[in-house]
Amino acid sequence: MLTLDCENSCRICLIESDQLGSIFGLHNDRQISEIIKEISGIQICDDDKLSKRICEDCKMKTLELSEFRQ
């Protein structure tokens, strides 16, 4: 049986690492979670039981998609 370490896994790609940033961190005065909601329609709440972390690759892809969308 596979288990997922929610505290040390990326919310987007599920990679496990201790080098993850907060999904509620800011980029140009906007939370990454709000950018994810804008491009995917998925709202991330700070009280859900899923990971609150994001890897650098997923963060960069999220920002690229947001820029493309604009």
Mean pLDDT per 10-residue interval, the chain, length 70 residues: 75 92 95 96 92 96 92
Confidence (pLDDT) at 61:
97
Confidence (pLDDT) at 4:
65
pTM, two decimal places: 0.87
| Strand ranges (E), the chain | 21-22, 26-27, 30-31, 53-54
Using the CB atoms, write b or e for 12-48: b if 16+ within 10 Å.
Answer: beeeeeeebbebeeeeeeeebbebbeeeeeeebeeee
Confidence (pLDDT) at 20:
95
